[in-house]
Structure 1
Amino acid sequence: MKSRIFILSAMMLVGISTAVSADVRPAPIFGDAMVLQRDAVVKVWGTADRNEPVTLSFNGQTVRTRAGKDGKWCVKLEPMQAGGPYAMTIAGRKSRVNINDVLVGEVWLCSGQSNMEFRVREANNAAGEIAAADYPMIRCFTVQKSMSPVPLDDCFGSWEVCSSATVGDFTAVGYFFARELWNELKVPIGIIHSSWGGTDIETWTSADSYDALPENVRRDYGNAAVELELMTSPERVAMKKKYDADFASDPALAERWYENPGDPSTWQMMSLPREWSLTPLAREDGHVWFRREFVLPENAEGKAAMLALGPIDDNDITWINGVEVGRTVGYNISRRYSVGENILYGGVNTLTVRVTDTGGGGGLFGLPQDVWLNVEGKQYPLAGEWSYKPSVVTSAYGIVQYGPNVLNSLLYNAMIHPIVCYAIKGAVWYQGENNAGDAYAYRTLFPNMMENWREKWGYDYPFYWVQLANFMAEAPVPRESAWAELREAQTLALDLPQTGQAVTIDIGDPGDIHPRNKQEVGRRLALNALAKDYGRTNIVWSGPTYASSAIEGNRITVIFDTYGAELAVRNKYGYIEGFAVAGADRVFHWAKAWIEDGKVVVCSDAVDRPVAVRYAWSDDPQANLFNTEGLPAAPFRSDDWPGITVRKR
C-alpha cells in the first residue's frame, strides 16, 4: 500500500508550539461550519497573551476563563441538544473571533490508512454520488498530513459543508457512514478525517502507550530518533528549501523537455511498466521524465485516439508530440487520455510523461497490456523500452526523506494528539493492510491503540472498524495467510467493550488493494452505530459469526451467532464455498458444506477424522455464506495452531 512521504520541516521535528500573541485565538479545529457533539460537555481551547481574560459565548451560554502563563486557555460548554446553525464569539481584551454556521449534532473520528483516505471521487459511481451530495447538515474536517516526534498542540485543516462542490475530496468511507447516520437520525453529522495511506498502527499510537507494550511486540526502530533530529540541522533545512523551490518550478518544464529533450546520451533506458523500487530510481522521489518513440502508419495522421498508461504513482503530465493530452493527481487512478485531432503523425511520434513521485514507490506500475494507444479501433502497444531522465529528485540534494512509519507515534503526535480534547461520539477505523505481516502482534497493538485513544479522550467511546477485504489471488489449495491472521486479530479485538466490526470479505477486489465499493463499507459501519449507539433495535448489524463446532464422525457441525437473521447461501444449489477441514496432521483440504437445521455441516472426502475447520481463511477466499440481510459471515478458524506471523518480530 502506497505511503505518502512528506519531508519533515524543522518546526514539525522539534514540535514547536504555535507562538503566543496578544490576539485571542481558538485552536484551528474550531472554525466556521464546525459540528460540536450534542449531549456532551464540549471543550473549546486556544491561545492568547498570558493571563489574558477570555470570554466565549455560544447558544445561550457564556463562559469565562483566563489564559495561563503559557498562553493557553480552555473552557467547557454544558451539554446541548442537536441544532443550529449558531454563532460563537471568543473575545479577549483587544481582539474578538467570530465563528459562524456552527451545528450541534453527532461527531465521529474517521482514521486509518489509504482505504480511509480514499476519496468519494474515486469510489463507485463517483459522478452520481457527487452530483447527489446535497447534505448541508454533514460537515467534514480533514486533518492536514503532518508528522512529529513530539506531541503537537495544533493540527490544521478546515470544516467543509457537504455539497457537490466539496464532497469529492471527502473520505469516502467517512462520508457514506455519515450519510447513513443522517438519513436515519436527521441530526447534524460531523466527521473528523485523520488518515494517511500506507501507515502502520504503531505510528498512530502515543509514545507512552507504545513504550509500555511488551518488548516482543514493539519494533526495533534503530537510530530513527537520532536521524530525525539531524533533519533540523541548518544544512538539511537549506537543502530542503532548495529542493522545494526546484520541485515547485521544475526547470525541465521551463526547458520544455516535452519538445526538446536535449542530449540523448543524458537519458537512460528502462523497460516499462515497472515500479521504481526495482530500478535505479528506488531511492528517488521527485520529478522523473519518460520518453518513448512509436511509429504509426500514414493513415493515422491527424486522427483522434485514446491513450492508456495504466496506474501511475503518484502524479503525471503527459504529452504527445509536444502537445499536452492529460494530467492526473492520484496514485491509484488508471490513466486514460483522449488524444485530439491533428496531434498524431504518420511515422515517428514521441510520447513524454513526467512522473511525480512524492514518496515510497513510484512510476508506471500497471501491466504491459495496460499501456497502449488506440486509433480507430487499432491498438498499438507502448510497453517496452523507454528513455528516462530525472529533473528534480531528492538524491540531487542529499535529502533523506522520512515517512510516518520510520518511528512509532509520529502521526499520533501530529494528527491525533491535537484533537484529543474535541468531544466526539466515537471513532471508525480502516487500517491493517500495512500490519498484515505482523498480524500476531496486531492482536496486542490494535486493542492497545483503541484503549490508548480512549484514555487520552477521557472516556470509553464506541470504536468500529473495517475488517480487511478480500485481496490478491485465490489460493488453489488451503494454505496459511497473513491477511487471514490479521482479520482474526481484528475479530479478537471485539472482546473490548463498545466495539464493532464491518466484515467486507465479499466486496474487495483481488487486483486492487483499494476496493471501490465504499458505499457498502460505510453502510455496514453505520449499522453498528445505529444498533449499538442510537437504539435502532430493528437493525441486523452483523453477519453470522462463529460460535462453536462439534465433531461427529467425518463431519463437523458449525454453530453461528446470527443476531436475529437466518443463514443464507449465495449459490443456487445451496453449496457453501470457502470451508476447509484438517485432521491430526494439520493439513487442510477443501470441504463440502451445506446448511442443515440452521447450522452448517462440513466434511471432506480427504479427511476421515477432522479435528479443525476453517472458513474464508485465505487472502481472497471464495466465501458465499451470508445471512438473510445480505451481510457476510466473518472468517474464522476453530484451531489455535501457530500461524505464519507468530515469530515475525
Structure 2
Amino acid sequence: MKLKVFIFLSFLCSNITCQKNLEWLDKNENESVWNELLGSWEFNNNTISPNLSKNGANLQYVLIRSGMEADTKWSEISVDFQINADIAQYSVGFVLNTKDSCDFGIISINRLSNLSSLKLGLWKYGKYRPWLNINLKKGIQTKKKYRLSIYPTTKKEEWRPWTITLTEDGSNEILLEQAIQNDIPMFGRGIVGLYSKESQVTFQNFNITQSSTIKQNLRLAPLFSDGMVIQRNKVVPVWGLAAPEKNVQLEFNNQSFNTKSGISGHWRINLSPMEASLSLKMKVVSGRDSIFINNVAIGEVWLASGQSNMNMKVWQSDMSTRSKELAPDIGLRMFLQPQWASNEPVFDSGGKWENAESGNVDVWSAVAYSFALQLREKLKVPIGIIGSYWGGTAAESWLPREELGTDPITKPILDQFYSAQEALELGQQIRNIRPWNVPDQRHAPGYLFNGMIYPHIPYAINGVIWYQGESNAKRAKQYETLFPMLIRSWRKEWDLPEMNFLFVQLPGYDGKQSGSNIESAWPQLRDAQRLTLQKVDNTGMAVTIDLGEVTNIHPYKKRELGERLARLALHDIYGMEDIVRSGPLYESVTFNDKSAIVSFSDCAMSLQIRESNILQGFEIAGSNQQFFPALAEINSNGKSVRVWSDKINKPVAVRYAWKNFPDKANLINSSGLPASPFRTDEWPLPTDKNR
C-alpha cells in the first residue's frame, strides 16, 4: 500500500447551501434514526441508498445519525456497502464530526481511473481538503459486499490510536488495515453518518458503539468520573452543566453544597480542602437528573503534557521492567485524555480514569508513571496524573491562541494562521512555508489547548510536568518567548499565578530530525528552557543531557527521567530537603586575564567529574566570537570551574555542552546528576529570525 499525507491543500469545488436547522425523518423505524443532510435518500427494508431521482443539483449525498450531538462520544462504527453498477468513479463511506452541510469530515472508499483507494479529508467552505490517501491492494468488485470499520487500535505496538479496516464479505479478506491519528478531528466524537458521491450504492448494517444515550440536562466536566483523584488540602472546584437557572446539589465526603445554574446552564461548586482518602462517592442532583461517581480518591494531582516523549508508553521504555516488579495499586491512577484538536474550547472531549491494577499500565506515559511512582512511594497518598499529550506537536498548539498576539516575537504564528483561514474562506489554495499553521488540524495554534487542556480547567492540581520542545527546535530563539508565555497562560486560565510547572530539558540527540540539522538549534532550545527556569518563578527543570541516544529522538531511558522530575517536586514542593533536586545549573561568570570562572548552583556536596579525571565539554571564545575547546578544572570551593585555552588571550564567553549530542560533557554534582548545558554569550545564532 502507498501512503500519502497531503500537507498542501487542494480542492474540488461545488456550490452547497449550508443546512443547520433540519427536520427529522419519521416515515418508518429505519428512517427515524437518520437525517438527510445533503441529497435525498431511499430506505428499503434494511438497506439505504441515495435517491438519484430526488437529488436535484446536489453532487454529494450525506445522511447523518439522529440523536447525536457535537460532543457525543463513540468508540466504533461500521457499515456494509455494495457498488451496484460498473462505474468509473465513485466515493462512498462515512461523514465524521459533522457540524453542518458545509463542515464535515469524510472517510471514503474511492475509485478513479481503475485505481481504488481510501481517502480522508475535510469538506469545508464548499471545498474538499485532502489529508490522507491509501491505495487498496486490489479493486472493489461490482455487486459484492464490503465492510468499512473504524475502531480503537488494539495492537500494543501501534502508536496511532485509531484503525480503519476494509473487509470483503464472504472471504473476510482484509483489503486495508490502517492505523491513523486524529490529525483532523474526526474519530471518537461528534455526529457521524453515511456519505456518497454516487447513487449506485447500497448501505446496510450500520453499527455504532457510543456512550450512554440517556438524555439529561445535568452533566459534569470529564474529569469528574469514576476513579477520579481529587487534590488534597486545596479548594476543589466542581463544575458542569444543568438546565438553566436550576438548583444543583452536591454531596461528597460528609459535605453538602447547593448552587444554582446560570442562564447558560453553567454551574460551579467549590469543595472545602480535604485530607487524603480512598473509596469515596460523590452524588450530584439537579431536578430529576442525578449523577453518581464511585471510587473517588483524594491525594496529589498533576497534569502531564507535551509531545511524543511524554506520550511514549511504559512498554516502549525501561519502565516496562519496572512495572512488572510492582504489585497492583488502587492508589495510583491516570486519566487518559483522547487526542482531540478543536478550533473552539470544548466542554468535554472524553477520557477515563484508570488505576494501576487495571492491567493498562503498559500504555500509560512512561515518564508520568515513573514520576507518579516516586510521589506515591514518598508521600504515601493517592496519586492522580491527568495525561494529555500528543506526539509531534509544537508549543503554540498547547496555549490559548490569542496569547500569541500579545508579543511581536510570537505574533507571526497567529498572523500565518489567520492568513490561511482567510484564504480558505475565499476558496484560495494555501501555500504556506510551515503548513502547521493552517486551521482544522492538530498543529494549528490553540487547537490542543482547546480540545485537550481547556476541558480540565479549573480542576484542582498541584502542578504540571511538561516534556516538549523538539517540534520547536527550528525556532529555538522564539521558544525563549513562547515557552514562558505558555506557562503564564496556563496559570492565568487556572487562576493559579504560582502553579508549579516542572519540565524536561531536551536530552542529547543528533539524528538530523526536528531541526537537529540546523547549527546550534538543539543547544539553543535547551538554553531557552534554561532561561525559562531563570525567568519564571515556581518552575523546575530536569536536566537529561546524559539520557539521550545519538540517532533516536525517543530515548529508551524514561525511568531516570521521571525520577528527576520527581526530585524537583519532592524537594521544592513537598519540602523534602534531603533530596538533591537537580544537577549543577549555571549561575554566573567572571573573566580574569586568560581564564573564566564559572559558578554553579545545585552542586550538592561538590562539583565532580563523571568517570574521568579530565573535565570536558567546555568551549571558550574571545571578542571575535570564535569558540575553541577549552581546558577546565573544578576549583577548591567545589562550586565553580576555571576555564581557559592557550588560543584565547582575552576570553569573553563560555559555552558548555553546546552540541546536539554532547557525549563528552562530564560535569556532575556529588549525587551524579549532570550539569545543564549553557552559554554566557548572546551572539546571533541561525534560528534567531525564524518565526
TM-score for the superposition, normalised by structure 2 = 0.65
Provide the C-alpha distance between the structure 2 equivalents of 1:523 and 1:586, rounded to a whole number of angstroms: 38
Following TM superposition, by how much is the alpha carbon of 1:230 offset from its aligned partner in structure 2, in angstroms? Answer: 9.9
Q: Which amino acid aligns with 1:592?
A: L
Question: Is residue 618 from structure 1 mapped to residue 662 from structure 2 by the alignment?
Answer: no
Q: Which amino acid aligns with 2:672?
A: G
Following TM superposition, by how much is the alpha carbon of 1:60 offset from its aligned partner in structure 2, in angstroms? Answer: 0.5
SS in 2 for 1:135: coil
Residue pair 2:319, 2:558 contacting (<8 A) in 1 also? no
- Return closer, same or farther for 1:89/1:216 CA change in 2, 3 Å cut-off: closer
Question: Is residue 485 from structure 1 mapped to residue 524 from structure 2 by the alignment?
Answer: yes
1:568 corresponds to: 608
2:624 corresponds to: 585
Provide the C-alpha distance between the structure 1 equivalents of 2:268 and 2:511, rounded to a whole number of angstroms: 53
SS in 2 for 1:492: helix
- Return closer, same or farther for 1:641/1:114 CA change in 2, 3 Å cut-off: same
Higher helix share: 1
1:461 alignment partner, one of 457, 482, 499: 499
1:259 corresponds to: none
- Return closer, same or farther for 1:517/1:644 CA change in 2, 3 Å cut-off: same
Following TM superposition, by how much is the alpha carbon of 1:164 offset from its aligned partner in structure 2, in angstroms? Answer: 6.5
Provide the C-alpha distance between the structure 2 equivalents of 1:571 and 1:416, rounded to a whole number of angstroms: 43
1:154 corresponds to: 348
Percent identity of the aligned residues? 41
1:602 corresponds to: 643
Provide the C-alpha distance between the structure 1 equivalents of 2:235 and 2:426, rounded to a whole number of angstroms: 42
Provide the C-alpha distance between the structure 1 equivalents of 2:589 and 2:270, rounded to a whole number of angstroms: 52
Provide the C-alpha distance between the structure 2 equivalents of 1:435 and 1:206, rounded to a whole number of angstroms: 17
Question: Is residue 648 from structure 1 mapped to residue 685 from structure 2 by the alignment?
Answer: no
Question: Is residue 47 from structure 1 mapped to residue 241 from structure 2 by the alignment?
Answer: yes
1:410 corresponds to: 447
Q: Which amino acid aligns with 1:642?
A: P
- Return closer, same or farther for 1:10/1:166 CA change in 2, 3 Å cut-off: closer
2:220 corresponds to: 26
| Structure 1 stretch displaced more, 65-74 or 528-537 | 65-74
Residue pair 1:576, 1:624 contacting (<8 A) in 2 also? yes
1:36 corresponds to: 230
1:214 alignment partner, one of 404, 408, 416: 408
Provide the C-alpha distance between the structure 2 equivalents of 1:118 and 1:229, rounded to a whole number of angstroms: 37
SS in 2 for 1:465: strand
Residue pair 1:217, 1:444 contacting (<8 A) in 2 also? no
Residues 76-113 of structure 1: CA deviation (Å, up to 9, x unaligned): 11111111220111122213221111001110011011
2:163 corresponds to: none
Q: Which amino acid aligns with 1:631?
A: L
Residue pair 2:409, 2:478 contacting (<8 A) in 1 also? no
Following TM superposition, by how much is the alpha carbon of 1:547 offset from its aligned partner in structure 2, in angstroms? Answer: 1.8
Higher relative contact order (CA 8 A, sep 6+): 1
Question: Is residue 124 from structure 1 mapped to residue 318 from structure 2 by the alignment?
Answer: yes
1:470 corresponds to: 508
- Return closer, same or farther for 1:13/1:91 CA change in 2, 3 Å cut-off: closer
Provide the C-alpha distance between the structure 2 equivalents of 1:501 and 1:456, rounded to a whole number of angstroms: 22
Following TM superposition, by how much is the alpha carbon of 1:66 offset from its aligned partner in structure 2, in angstroms? Answer: 2.5
Provide the C-alpha distance between the structure 2 equivalents of 1:457 and 1:90, rounded to a whole number of angstroms: 23
Provide the C-alpha distance between the structure 2 equivalents of 1:506 and 1:640, rounded to a whole number of angstroms: 25
Residue pair 2:182, 2:340 contacting (<8 A) in 1 also? no
Q: Which amino acid aligns with 1:36?
A: I
Provide the C-alpha distance between the structure 2 equivalents of 1:548 and 1:228, rounded to a whole number of angstroms: 50
1:559 corresponds to: 599
- Return closer, same or farther for 1:114/1:228 CA change in 2, 3 Å cut-off: farther
Following TM superposition, by how much is the alpha carbon of 1:6 offset from its aligned partner in structure 2, in angstroms? Answer: 2.2
2:680 alignment partner, one of 626, 629, 638: 638
Following TM superposition, by how much is the alpha carbon of 1:132 offset from its aligned partner in structure 2, in angstroms? Answer: 2.0
1:8 alignment partner, one of 156, 181, 185: 185
Residues 330-373 of structure 1: CA deviation (Å, up to 9, x unaligned): xxxxxxxxxxxxxxxxxxxxxxxxxxxxx99xxxxxxxxxxxxx
Coordinate RMSD, CA, aligned: 2.8
Question: Is residue 439 from structure 1 mapped to residue 635 from structure 2 by the alignment?
Answer: no
- Return closer, same or farther for 1:215/1:496 CA change in 2, 3 Å cut-off: closer
Q: Which amino acid aligns with 2:674?
A: P
2:669 corresponds to: 627
Provide the C-alpha distance between the structure 1 equivalents of 2:295 and 2:628, rounded to a whole number of angstroms: 60
Following TM superposition, by how much is the alpha carbon of 1:13 offset from its aligned partner in structure 2, in angstroms? Answer: 10
Residue pair 1:12, 1:148 contacting (<8 A) in 2 also? no
SS in 1 for 2:331: strand
Following TM superposition, by how much is the alpha carbon of 1:521 offset from its aligned partner in structure 2, in angstroms? Answer: 1.0
Provide the C-alpha distance between the structure 1 equivalents of 2:628 and 2:182, rounded to a whole number of angstroms: 43
2:256 corresponds to: 62
1:88 alignment partner, one of 282, 289, 295: 282
1:131-280 alignment, distance < 5 Å: 131-132=325-326, 134-163=328-357, 165-214=359-408, 217-219=411-413, 220-221=416-417, 223-226=419-422
2:488 corresponds to: 451
- Return closer, same or farther for 1:539/1:212 CA change in 2, 3 Å cut-off: same
SS in 1 for 2:281: strand
1:338 corresponds to: none
Residue pair 2:587, 2:601 contacting (<8 A) in 1 also? yes
Aligned length: 474
TM-score for the superposition, normalised by structure 1 = 0.69
Question: Is residue 107 from structure 1 mapped to residue 301 from structure 2 by the alignment?
Answer: yes
SS in 2 for 1:493: helix
Residue pair 1:133, 1:164 contacting (<8 A) in 2 also? no
